Amino acid sequence: MTKRLPNIVDRIVVPLTLPLLITLLWEVVVRLGQIPPFILPSPIRVLPTMVEVFPDLLPHLRITLLEFAIGFSLALLLAIFIALLMDALPLAKKMVYPLLVVSQTVPIISVAPLFLIWFGYGILPKVLVVILVCFFPIGISLLEGLAAVDAELLKLLKAMGARRFQIYRLVKIPAALPALLAGLKISASYSIMGAIIGEWLGAMQGIGYYMNLAQHAFSVDRVLVAVLVITILSLAVFKIVCLLEKILMPWQTPEAWED
Amino acid sequence: MDSKLEVRKVSKRYNRIKVLQDISLSVMKKQFVSILGPSGCGKSTLFEVISGLQLPDNGEVLIDGKDSRGRTGRVSYMPQKDLLLPWKTILDNAALPLVIKGESWPEARRKAAPYFAPFELDGFERAYPQQLSGGMRQRAALLRTFLFARDILLLDEPFGALDALTRSKMHLWLLDIFQRYGPSVLFITHDIDEAIFLADKLYIFSARPARVVAEIEIELPRPRSQELLTSGEFAALKKEVLQFF
């Protein structure tokens, strides 16, 4: 018999222990070291700031979420389209694959300012950064998922006379779904950061813009509030993808069958 | 003669390596034919040729007397791996070939459902493959093969991955299915007992390139039970087969 923790302890208390300890340590260090609040405010001082500035943050939050939503969706659609195309046409794979890798080696920090020059201070350049960041993990995962489908299974379907689109619909796409979601998880955790980087380099709205302002005002507590908000957003996006995984792939977590 | 499936002088090379050499065999209607040969002798290639996935370099494949070279969609085969789709329920897995043939899912499910009892899968229609035991998965895979084309079953070491006890249960079950529905079966194996116990006729293949070394009629009465395995007739047949190895 293995000792099992109650569900709530297992799922909530255990994961929260370490962050709480770190916060506690932070509080202790600030107090014992008598660090002035403009260098590092203690967590107890950040929380009221959070409550105080939250109404001001909301419009920025909306913009960041909008950039994320548009960028992430477009990245997903584009990745699915390109991956399917590359899987179906070996020639397309040969032509596009190197370009994909190159797109990932370009440092975002160097192209994002160019987007500003070309597309101005609106949301478009941020959306582009999100796409650039998210597209690659999704596309590559899906492509590998499609290529990894059991060759014998494909043979069997061909023997049954399945046409190409049937093979994709019935086998290849569902078989590649776990890989697609693995890619989605990676890009979900980057996506908000992409939007923030875009805003941080030049914007008139958004959490990244807010953070930039706070930084220039040496308002460390506000910077920390922005960091906290970004973290919560990223976690939320990640959790949504995990939830999506459960909904789309019920066979991954079936209840044990009773004999 | 009522020949269901006939292979005439089929040869096949893979990357210049000769895999099949002048293979000729025939399966009559409602006949159970075993192919016995060493592993990796090219028996699976033969199934790919029969099912139309590969073109033979020479020779003919006749199904119901019609040339079937390179024609997929007529007969299916069942490989050693069950190859069930993990994201589909057992019912949907079994119904899959009907959907490929153009039927709608509800229609295909309705046609597949009555076979769950004889295939000893009843109650598991909505289970996913990984919830089933190895033997049940093979029965589901056989049901899928059967629903695709119930007159010819090509079985490629279907019980090879099962433990001995499960396997002998599966033999009796397969014989029961064979008696009930009367398909023509071509059964590949490297297990001598299995080959003799199930079949009406036995072909012995050589190591690569595969040739037909012997053709042995097995005139054991049906229905067969496990006592047959220890009978004198069975031993005599086994002795006859063993001299080719």
pLDDT band at A1 (very low <50, low <70, confident <90, very high): very low
Q: CA-to-CA distance for B137 and B145, rounded, in angstroms?
A: 12
**Which residue of B79, B101, B127 is in closest CB contact with A156?**
B79
Helix (H) or strand (E) holding A192: helix A173-201
Q: Consecutive sets of 10 residues in chain B, 245 residues long: mean pLDDT of each?
A: 86 88 93 89 86 92 89 88 92 95 94 92 92 92 92 92 90 92 93 93 90 91 88 91 89
| More confident site: B100 or A100 | B100
Compare all CA atoms of chain A with the CA of B93 and give the residue at the minimum distance. A170
Q: Which domains does chain A have, with CATH numbers?
A: 56-246 (1.10.3720.10)
CB pairs under 8 A between A and B: 64
Q: Is residue B242 part of a domain?
A: no
Between CA B31 and CA B174 the distance in angstroms is: 13
Provide, as residue numbers in chain A, all residues whose Cβ is less than 8 Å from the Cβ of B148.
160
For chain B, what is the domain count? 2
Higher pLDDT, A254 or B6: B6
Let me know whether B69 and B9 are in one domain. Answer: yes
The pLDDT of residue B55: 92
The residue of chain A nearest to residue B144, with distances taken between CA atoms, is A160
The pLDDT value recorded for residue A116 is 87
Its domain, for residue B29, covers 1-75+150-216
Residue B181 lies in a domain: yes
Q: What is the pLDDT of residues A18-43, one digit of tens each?
A: 989 998 999 899 888 888 888 888 88
Has residue B241 been placed in a domain?
A: no
Domain identity same for B121 and B142: yes
Q: Give the helix/strand (H/E) hosting B185.
A: strand B184-189
Contact B77 A156 (CB under 8 A): yes
Question: Which of these, A178, A172, A198, A191, lies nearest to A230 by C-alpha position?
Answer: A191
pLDDT digits (tens, 9 = 90+) for A194-244: 999 999 888 889 999 999 999 898 888 889 899 989 999 999 999 999 998
Domain boundary among B148, B174, B203: B148
Contact B12, B20 (CB under 8 A): yes
Least confident of A108-112, A118-122, B32-36, B61-65: A108-112
- In contact, B156 and B47? CB cutoff 8 Å: yes
**Structural domain contains residue B230:** no
pLDDT surpassing 50 at residue A259: no
> Is the CB of B53 less than 8 angstroms away from the CB of A155?
yes
pLDDT above 50 for A256: no
Does B89 lie in the same domain as B50?
no
Measured at the alpha carbon of residue B30, what is the angle toward residues B84 and B61, in degrees to the nearest 5? Answer: 75
Predicted confidence (pLDDT) at residue A2 exceeds the cutoff of 70? no
Q: State the ipTM, two decimals.
A: 0.87
CB contact under 8 A, A159 and B130: no
pTM, two decimal places:
0.81
Residue where one domain finishes, among candidates B128, B148, B168: B148
Same domain, yes or no, for B210 and B105?
Answer: no
Q: Tell me which chain A residues have a C-beta less than 8 angstroms from the C-beta of B86.
A: 251
B contacts of A151 (beta carbons < 8 Å): none
The share of chain A scoring above pLDDT 90, in percent, equals: 46
Residue A258 has pLDDT above 50, yes or no: no
Confidence (pLDDT) at A129:
92
Judging contacts by C-beta atoms under 8 Å, the chain A residues touching residue B75 are 159
Round to whole Å and give the CA distance between B64 and B151: 10
On whether both B32 and B118 belong to a single domain, the answer is: no
Please judge whether A254 and B131 are an interchain contact, meaning their C-beta atoms are less than 8 angstroms apart: yes
In a domain, B222, yes or no: no
**Do residues B184 and B26 make contact, with C-beta atoms less than 8 angstroms apart?**
no
Note the pLDDT tens digit of each residue in A157-183: 999 999 999 999 999 999 999 999 999
**Dihedral in degrees, nearest 10, Cα atoms A211, A212, A217, A218:** 70
- Is the N-terminal amide bond of B183 cis, ω within 30° of 0? no
Distance separating the N- and C-terminal Cα atoms of chain A: 21
Tell if the CB–CB gap between A160 and B100 is shorter than 8 Å. Answer: yes
User: CB A159 to CB B96 under 8 A?
Assistant: no
CATH number of the domain enclosing B2:
3.40.50.300
Q: Is B106 helix (H, G, I), strand (E, B) or coil?
A: helix
